[in-house]
Copies of this chain bind each other. A is one copy, B any other.
Amino acid sequence: MYAPSTRPVVLDPHGAANACTHCDARAHSVCNAVPDSDVARLAAIAVVTTAQPGTTLIQEGDPASHFVNISAGTVRMYKLLPDGRRQITGFAGVGHFLGLAVSSTYAFSAEAIDTVRYCRFSRARLHTLLDDYPAMEKRLLEIASTELVAAQDQMLLLGRKTARERLASFLMLQSRQGVMCQSPRGRFVLPMSRGDIADYLGLTIETVSRTITKLRSEGYIDVPSATEIAIKAPAALEGLALGNA
């Protein structure tokens, strides 16, 4: 699905400063709170890593020792019940920041969906940086607030929307996030499986599949392949997402 990256998997340690300066994710991320001139300090504490699909980056309950910043690929964040039921609380793409936690342990797990490149920062070291760059702390608060708003939207979806409305909401959200890197207008790739979508929307795989088929047969969307979606009627789909029959 993804062409293998042309970048080396393990970066030359001497080139680490460049890794941050040229990082694709920097513009979208916490890191832009650090001025160019000081980016070496950031690079010095960052460890760049690549994770294969299915690999766990963060495990719920583990000591929250690191922050993670995604620079390529997509991650699923989720929580499990003891019997294995799973709720995906969000998908994190390029620029996303994981690992905010007050408690000493992570409150959720995170797994690579496709091949993911990311930076790990020790929590302790980043905190010392934070004291020197108050803008970075402000940025973290902004990030947390944005996620809180998204979480509230998701609660509305999970508590009160029908399967049809959930899929419409999800597809609109993905199109907003994914469209920038895709050529044809309104078309995008879904990196996650039907099972992931189901666990994100609080539905079953079968309901997700059936509902997508229905939306296609009604002309709201095109589904050129299982992992590609094109939105044909964005306004109408947005209406559906908000409950207009």
Contacts and interface: CB of A to CB of B under 8 A. Distances in A.
Interface stretch (A5-13, A17-25, A97-105, A118-126): A97-105
When all copies of this chain in the complex are counted, the total is 2
Contacts of A152: 79, 89, 107-108, 151
A168 to B, nearest CB: 12
A15 interface: no
A149 B85 contact: no
B103 A160 contact: no
Interface stretch (A68-76, A138-146, A173-181, A228-236): A138-146
A144 B100 CA distance: 9
Contacts of A154: 151, 155
Contact of A87 (B102, B137, B160): B160
A86 interface: yes
B161 A158 contact: no
The listed residue with most B CB atoms (<10 A of its CB), out of A101, A141, A159, is: A159
A159 B152 CA distance: 13
B79 A153 contact: yes
Contact of A161 (B81, B108, B140): B81
Nearest to A106: B149
A178 to B, nearest CB: 22
A189 to B, nearest CB: 24
A83 to B, nearest CB: 5
Interface in A194-234: 199, 201-202
B158 A100 contact: no
Report the 7 A-B pairs with minimum CB-CB distance, sorted nearest first: A159-B202, A151-B151, A158-B158, A144-B144, A87-B156, A87-B159, A85-B160
16 contacts: A79-B156, A81-B160, A81-B243, A87-B159, A89-B156, A101-B145, A102-B145, A102-B149, A103-B149, A108-B152, A134-B137, A137-B138, A141-B141, A148-B148, A151-B155, A158-B159
